[in-house]
Amino acid sequence: MEILKNPGDAQFNSSELLEYWSQEFAVALKDKYICGIWKSDLPSGLLWSSQFAQIDNKNPVRRPGAVERPTPTWSWSAYDDDVTWINTHLEKQKDPDFEILSHDIQLVSADAPFGEVQKGELRVRGLMIGIPLPTISAETGIPVIIVEGMEMPAVIDYPDDPRLQQNSLSKLSALIVVQTGWSILEGIIVAEEENNRWSRAGWWDSQHTRTEPLAPGSTEKDSTKSVKEAYRAKLRSLWGGKENVREIVLM
């Protein structure tokens, strides 16, 4: 592909320019581009949310059009609306139980490594727990998921998703992806499709998971290894135990 040297030289294809610069950055950064997300940034890259729903989460509305879940569901680049990232002011790290084990990406065209994807799967391991259907908080009026009696704010990818409607028999879980040390968690809502293969249904976070108060004048960074290990053990216990650290395929 010939890159334009003068904007007036010819009509350009924005997808070709995106592909070109993605290739250039991949070489410069020594990183890999996977369905719109750099491999090194995959954990936090999974935590996008619908910008429309975030603007008015009490009355989320999508743009008109057919409702069809994208492929892959975990990638913001496949979502058919504007997206945003929440809590960007926080210093986050991958949750100790979360790991991306492998990926299987099949392109529509082998000649377009940054183009349309026919299949995109991530095999991940993480701490997850089954949840009931998302509901509306009586206190705040926004969508929430409930884990062990605790409300956690949520942003649903598709408010009219049939898997999230009353009387749905879909199996839903909350998966922890990142955390800030030992208090704030952030993750995604997933729905099982078949044989331990799951698709994304939304985003959630919690700022009320600290099991013990911080000492006066201390911060999460000051926490000792033993305190963090105790918190991890307590969190696992609250989320169903070590057996809830599971391997699944995200589609």
What local confidence, expressed as pLDDT, does residue 5 receive?
35
For residue range 44-93, what is the model confidence (pLDDT) as tens digits? 889 999 876 655 555 555 555 445 677 789 988 888 888 898 888 888 89
Cα separations in angstroms, 109 against 73, 113, 116: 20, 7, 7
Q: Flag whether pLDDT at 29 surpasses 50.
A: no
Percentage of residues of the chain with pLDDT beyond 90: 34
Q: Flag whether pLDDT at 247 surpasses 90.
A: yes
What local confidence, expressed as pLDDT, does residue 65 receive?
47
For residue range 193-210, what is the model confidence (pLDDT) as tens digits? 998 999 999 999 997 555
Spans of all domains in the chain: 33-250
Rounded to 5 degrees, what are φ and ψ at 163? -70, -15
For residue range 125-177, what is the model confidence (pLDDT) as tens digits? 999 999 999 999 998 888 999 998 899 999 999 888 889 988 899 999 999 99
Q: Flag whether pLDDT at 191 surpasses 90.
A: yes
The candidate with the shortest Cα–Cα distance to 96, out of 216, 176, 15, is: 176
pTM for the predicted model, two decimal places: 0.77
